[in-house]
Amino acid sequence: MPDPAKSLLERLTEFLTPQPTSAAERRQELIHTLREAQTKGLIDVDALSMIEGVFQVGQLCARDILVPRAQIDWIDINLPLSEIIKNVIAAAHSRFPVFDGSRDNVIGTLLAKDLLRHSSEEDFQVRDWLRPAVFIPESKRLSVLLRDFKDNRNHLAIVVDEYSGVAGIITIEDVLEQIVGDIEDEHDIDEEADNLIALDNGDIRVKGITELEQFNEMLGTNFQDDGIETVAGLVIQHLGRVPKMGELIEMDGIAFEVQRADPRQIHILLARQIPKKVNPD
């Protein structure tokens, strides 16, 4: 812990001066000092959040924030062009991984702008407009990946596991959100219909930002907590921490399975009703 008798300036100066302490200890001391600076009004809470996000990016790997392969909006190169266009418009992303035969056989990345601008041209072939796919290991540090994105002007990478199978994808937006928080684009504004999606198996795919009122209305629940407005906030409040990806949380007859999360927030959950136990007569 920092010495309370020392001024903030003295502690920041000491941090910048080589000390015989570990990097983790000095990092934690700096964060503590910056939090104290925020409480004194020297920096605002948004600036503090971004600084802490920068430190987290230095510690996280691609596997920590990737979009799992089951949640990727893929493009199958063998589909008819009309079907590909329909899927691109429905997903409303700017980039799509394209596979041939198997989803572990990614042959490139398709930019929506290339498809929609040129698909009406005579003899248009999707293969001709594919950009090279970038493959990275799950262990790649986000700080290194962000620099690569910037240097190579690439915005999407395919994350592969130790067996060279596709584990998921990660975008430059995913990395930047670790620093600045959730980034909403023009497709996110007022599109509450995408917050709750019923899946074929009966589960409900829930965005963490879904308001409790909307969730309660669809599932017939009565979740409420003073000061909590979203499903993600409710789950975090219940646990007292941010859950890890894959974690299962049961609350008042609903099982929540965390599908996508990072150390600071929950992005996607699956919700399902817990069957009521029938007492034998």
Q: What per-residue confidence (pLDDT) applies to 180?
A: 74
Task: Tell me which residue has tokens 């990345």.
Answer: 109
Q: What per-residue confidence (pLDDT) applies to 3?
A: 57
Q: Where in the chain is the domain with CATH 3.10.580.10?
A: 64-180
Query: Which element (helix H / strand E) includes 157?
Result: strand 156-160
Fold entry, domain 64-180 = CBS-domain (3.10.580)
Q: What per-residue confidence (pLDDT) applies to 98?
A: 97
Q: What's the whole-model pTM score?
A: 0.58
Q: What per-residue confidence (pLDDT) applies to 187?
A: 45
Interaxial angle between packed helices 8-16 and 23-39, expressed in degrees from 0 to 180 and rounded to the nearest 10: 150
pLDDT tens for the chain, 281 residues: list them: 555 555 655 655 555 555 545 666 777 788 788 878 877 778 777 777 777 777 777 778 898 888 888 889 999 999 999 999 999 988 888 999 999 999 999 999 999 999 988 888 888 999 999 999 999 999 999 989 999 999 998 899 999 998 889 999 999 988 888 777 665 554 444 455 578 888 878 889 898 889 999 999 999 999 987 778 899 999 998 998 888 878 999 998 999 998 877 766 788 889 999 887 656 65
Q: Where in the chain is the domain with CATH 3.30.465.10?
A: 192-273
Beta strands in 52-101 (DSSP E): 67-68, 75-76, 95-100
To the question of domain 192-273 being in CATH 3.40.50.620, the answer is no
What residue type is 32 in one-letter code?
A: H
| Cα–Cα distance for residue pair 46/243, rounded to 1 Å | 23
